[in-house]
Amino acid sequence: MNKKYYIKDYVILRQGRLIRNGEVLLEAGNPELKDFLRKIYKSFGMRYPKFFKMDDLSRLGFLAAEILFDQEKPEADTALIFANSSSCLETDKAYSKTMSGFPSPSLFVYTLPNIVLGEISIRHGLRSENLFLVQDRFEPTTMIDYSHSLLNKAKASNVLCGWVDLHNTDYDVFLWQIAASGRLEHNEEELNKIYLPE
Amino acid sequence: MNDLHTELKKSIIDQLNLEDMDVSDIENDEPLFGDGLGLDSIDALELIVLLEKDYGIKLEDPNQGKEIFNSINSMVDFIEKNRTK
């Protein structure tokens, strides 16, 4: 019999709003992405200078994970399963522009979408399974199947899943943690309800 | 402190995204890596690019980097002796 898992906590970053478990923690109007990210960083008193060296995709995932973990240190074997539809296209484009002159090393290191997983792992000391999927749209089935498989096989004690997408100036972030008990079952229907509440 | 010290500090802050840091926060003899400014290996590559882009200096021997990038003073000294623009 398949064991059931539950959605423990979730965070959404969308249209200048930061939402945690349904509660709006920060509403910034409709600022430029960089200003919105900086506002979150400052508002929550974060002190991690490397944040400012990250590309915007990593900053989005990093901040959402910071808010989600909420000073509660995750287990080192917390697996990370993320996805998006635009890969790291914005950073690829920015790096491509530098190639006609002096290619930027600090941009080059972010020309893979899974770097955000590395940044979160470094920040929280994770030594765990991680996977970054590129999909047409938010479609959590693969993330559900893979996360349950990891938990069932005891390859991870906890799983952080996430959709972290950035295209032009549009960003869309939805991170959630899975638990053995809780109110909302970890399935496609519940995730879609949270992701698209309307 | 001459203009080159200030110019270099501004370039480093800008190029390396040292947010919330001002020219006055960087001492001329402070180590740039390790316990000082806390730069990392990717920053070192950016400094190599900065030397070439802004001062026309191409580092032929990567081993030179450790000495040149020790501090603002050592970078200024190297730039003054080797700049082509």
Per-residue pLDDT tens over the stretch A110-129: 999 999 999 999 999 999 99
The complex's ipTM? Answer: 0.80
Using left for φ > 0, alpha for ψ between -120 and 50, and beta otherwise, residue A170 falls in beta
CB-CB under 8 Å, A106 with B42: yes
B1 touches chain A (CB under 8 A): no
Are the CB atoms for A159 and A120 separated by under 8 Å? no
| Cβ-Cβ contacts under 8 Å, A106 against chain B | 16-17, 42-43, 45-46
Nearest Cα of chain B lies from the Cα of A33 at a distance, in angstroms, of: 16
| Cβ-Cβ contacts under 8 Å, A102 against chain B | 49, 52-53
R_g (Cα) of chain A, nearest Å:
16
The pLDDT tens digits of the residues spanning A72-109 come to 899 999 999 999 999 999 999 999 999 999 999 999 99
The pLDDT tens digits of the residues spanning B35-51 come to 778 788 899 999 999 99
Token duo for residue A171? 């960003």
Q: Nearest-CA neighbor of A64 among A191, A114, A167, A56?
A: A56
**CATH number of the domain located at residue range(s) A6-195 in this protein:** 3.40.47.10
> What is the rounded average pLDDT of the residues B14-25?
88
CB-CB under 8 Å, B52 with A104: no
Q: What total number of domains does chain B contain? A: 1
Q: What is the three-class DSSP state of A110?
A: coil
Residue B15 has pLDDT above 80, yes or no: yes
Cα distance between residue A1 and residue A22, in whole Å: 32
The Cβ-side half-sphere exposure at B38, using a 13 Å CA radius, reads 8
User: Can you give the residue range of the structural domain that contains B38?
Assistant: 3-82
